[in-house]
Amino acid sequence: MKRNLLLLVIAVLSLATLSAQDITEAVYDSYETYKESSLNNRRIKHKDLQPLINSFKGNPKFIVQQVGESIEGRDLNLITIGSGKTNIFLWSQMHGNEPTATQAIFDLLNFFDSNDFAAEKKAILDNLTLHFLPMLNPDGAEVFQRRNALGIDINRDALRLQSPEGRTLKRVRDSLDAAFGFNLHDQSTYYNAERTEKPASISYLATAYNYEKDINEVRANAMKVIVFMNNIIQNYASGQVGRYSDDFEPRAFGDNIAKWGTSLILIESGGYTNDVEKQEIRKLNYVSILSALYTIAKKSYVDISIEDYEKIPKNDRNLFDLKIENVSYEINGKDYILDLGINRQEIDFEGHNQFYYKSTIVDQGDLSTYYGYETFDASGYKIVAPKMKSKKEVIFKSGAIEDLHKSGVAYVKLPLPKEGFSSNKPIHMVDTKFQLPDFRLSPGQNPTFFLEKEGELTHVIINGFVLDLSLSLANQKLGNALIYRN
């Protein structure tokens, strides 16, 4: 069964003639066989990779080399497989909080390690030698931040080479003289495909090597492979592909690697509806890279027109987590119609293993050119300021919070837990000294208020999450409420 599934995938990669439904079934079914199950959380750390890397050290199919060390002394490892004359270099997580492709790399390594599908993998590994450098910035990954322990962006260190991680990347690229390089990143989840409501779940870029954005053979080859990948991904993530800006950045590694003669392909992992941990996008990375390796090995990309590269929609940044449209808001005795754009910012807990949401009104006014992962049409609804109520004891009994909501209460004064700034209960908890400020909508404010229709409260927005007062709380999704401490 598994062999038939991969044969179907390979047929898709080489011919691209099957229907989207067939592609989806084949790719997803085969992918689950190789998905590295120990890496299901975005906040992965260097220590999480070590058992996996050690397993490849003892595997004769692979060569594992320590090629460098981070500022804080964490190993940087290069994992190699294949015997072909064409070197392919893939690296991930040069920004510590961009881990999606790191997970996908280990999925690919599991695929190439399997005993199945020998003929299909032979087509790749006899023609290519693959070199993977996962998690280039392990110190940043430790605290889930973009920059390294020196506080610099490694992707802006290609000229000065002050970071040991950057020096490692340069040295490995030069030693391999790789024909193709895959620079694997995560981008903001608020990017959308140009002039559409669809998130740019994957964005591609053939990086420019000069300010003029000239196209030589090296850059053209990257464009052709990207066109091939886009054609594959469109079949089951239709409209969710963007083209990253090709403005030349003289300090960036991607731009310089293209200048040094490697066809550089940037893959950016964005957002996907209801995919907080980006596991669906991880699949897109897996399939994108596998399809690229296949067309490079077969050299089938050579005849692709680079004109099709320009047809991929550019990235826009016009997405919100929640967009509330056409809501009535009263100020100084007059009613106005507003749209609200709300984003749910992730705040890490200590240890950087989990997070909570602290939402913000990002923009308000006419947002008709913007979109939302979730959109609420509030035509006919009016914003109502939230109330606060004092409670001497914990009120989290069945139905108690629903009753408070129906009376317009979104904040309660009560004895707070000893620690923490978030609660999984759908009501804000505040210190006994807390004073609720006068209500006024403005960018930067936490979105907590009620909606009223025909004189009746119908919905409460708690920390940027919409709850329907006519439904049981148990059947609704809330990220979290907040705990306010003096």
Q: At what angle do helices 279-298 and 118-125 cross, to 10 degrees?
A: 70
pLDDT in tens, the chain (486 residues): 444 444 444 444 443 333 333 333 455 578 999 999 999 999 999 999 999 999 999 999 999 999 999 999 999 999 999 999 999 999 999 999 999 999 999 999 999 999 877 777 899 999 999 999 999 999 999 999 999 999 999 999 999 999 999 999 999 999 999 999 999 999 999 999 999 999 999 999 999 999 999 999 999 999 999 999 999 899 889 999 999 999 999 999 999 999 999 999 999 999 999 999 999 999 999 999 999 998 999 999 999 999 999 999 999 999 999 999 999 999 999 999 999 999 999 999 999 999 999 999 999 999 999 999 999 999 999 999 999 999 776 677 768 999 999 999 999 998 898 999 999 999 999 998 899 999 999 999 999 999 999 999 999 999 999 999 999 998 898 899 999 998
Residue 456: burial class (beta carbons within 10 Å; 0-12, 13-18, 19+) = exposed
Residues 196 and 251 in one domain: yes
Question: Which of 316, 336, 356 is the last residue in one of the domains?
Answer: 316
Measured distance CA(428)–CA(415) in Å, rounded: 12
Question: Which of 255, 283, 316 is the last residue in one of the domains?
Answer: 316
Residues 283 and 386 in one domain: no
Residues 184 and 253 in one domain: yes
Residues 422 and 287 in one domain: no
Residues 145 and 56 in one domain: yes
Question: Who's near 465: CB < 8 A, 6+ residues apart?
Answer: 322, 344, 357, 359, 426, 477, 478, 479
Residues 204 and 131 in one domain: yes
Q: With contact defined as beta carbons under 8 Å apart, do 337 and 390 qualify? A: no
How would you classify the pairing of strands 355-365 and 387-390?
unpaired
Measured distance CA(173)–CA(331) in Å, rounded: 60
Residues 371 and 438 in one domain: yes
Q: Which residues pair with 345 in a beta bridge?
A: 358
Residues 179 and 306 in one domain: yes
Question: For residue 148, what are the CA distances in angstroms to 164, 348, 351?
Answer: 10, 17, 17
Domain count, the chain: 2
Residues 232 and 288 in one domain: yes
Residue range of the domain that includes 270: 2-316
Question: Which of 291, 316, 341 is the last residue in one of the domains?
Answer: 316
**CATH number for 26:** 3.40.630.10
Stretch (H or E) spanning 293: helix 279-298
Residue 272: how many CB atoms within 10 A of its CB? Answer: 23
Query: What ranges in 75-179 are assigned the alpha helix state H?
Result: 100-113, 118-125, 138-142, 164-176
Residues 339 and 257 in one domain: no
Residues 348 and 464 in one domain: yes
Residues 377 and 298 in one domain: no
Stretch (H or E) spanning 255: helix 253-259
